[in-house]
């Protein structure tokens, strides 16, 4: 629709006008993307804030199961991540078995997700074991001194034979 195109292009005045004229706010575009999904593509935080104020759902999934937060993280859009987190996006929601943190490719986005509570699933697992943290990795038994293994001389002599 023209409204989704205006949103995607970040043309806030045109999107507002089309909305005032009755554009369907629940319209879906390709892959079942909502206006908020398209708004992320505009890379305009003001567009996202306006869409959220209109009632766009920050947890709505598109046709392939992605939330707006996932789209923002995958698109390396730090500002969109901040807007969505401030609007209550679930930082630990799983899509294809993975949270948004697993998809972060920039340190700023990873830090924002962690500050918003990402990793609570891991913390829950650790506390379920009663340790409150990951258990120490197993330690391999030492191999012993080189002489017990035949020493370097045995290795050299073996290669000369």
Question: What pTM does this model have?
Answer: 0.73
pLDDT per position as a tens digit, 18-50: 999 999 989 999 899 999 999 999 999 999 999
CA distance 64 to 156: 60
Q: Which tokens hold the place of 8?
A: 């995607």
Tell me how far apart the 2 most distant CA atoms of the chain are, in Å: 90
CA distance 8 to 75: 14
135 phi, psi to nearest 5 deg: -70, 155
**Percent of the chain with pLDDT strictly greater than 70:** 74
Structural contact between residues 51 and 35, judged by C-beta atoms closer than 8 angstroms: yes
Q: CA 43, 49, 51: angle at the middle one, nearest 5?
A: 90
pLDDT per position as a tens digit, 126-152: 333 443 444 444 444 444 444 444 444
């Amino acid at each position: 629709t023209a409204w989704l195109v205006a949103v995607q292009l970040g043309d806030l005045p045109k999107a507002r006008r089309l909305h005032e004229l009755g554009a369907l706010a629940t319209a879906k575009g390709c892959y079942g993307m909502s206006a908020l999904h398209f708004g992320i593509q505009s890379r305009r935080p003001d567009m996202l804030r306006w869409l959220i104020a209109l009632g766009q759902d920050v947890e709505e999934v598109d046709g392939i199961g992605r939330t707006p937060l996932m789209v923002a993280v995958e698109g390396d859009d730090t500002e969109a991540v901040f807007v969505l987190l401030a609007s209550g996006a679930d930082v630990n929601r799983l899509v294809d078995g993975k949270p948004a943190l697993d998809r972060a490719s920039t340190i700023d986005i990873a830090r924002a997700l962690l500050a918003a509570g990402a990793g609570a699933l891991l913390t829950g697992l650790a506390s379920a074991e009663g340790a409150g943290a990951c258990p120490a990795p197993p330690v391999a038994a030492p191999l012993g001194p080189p002489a017990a293994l035949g020493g370097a001389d045995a290795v050299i002599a073996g290669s000369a034979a």
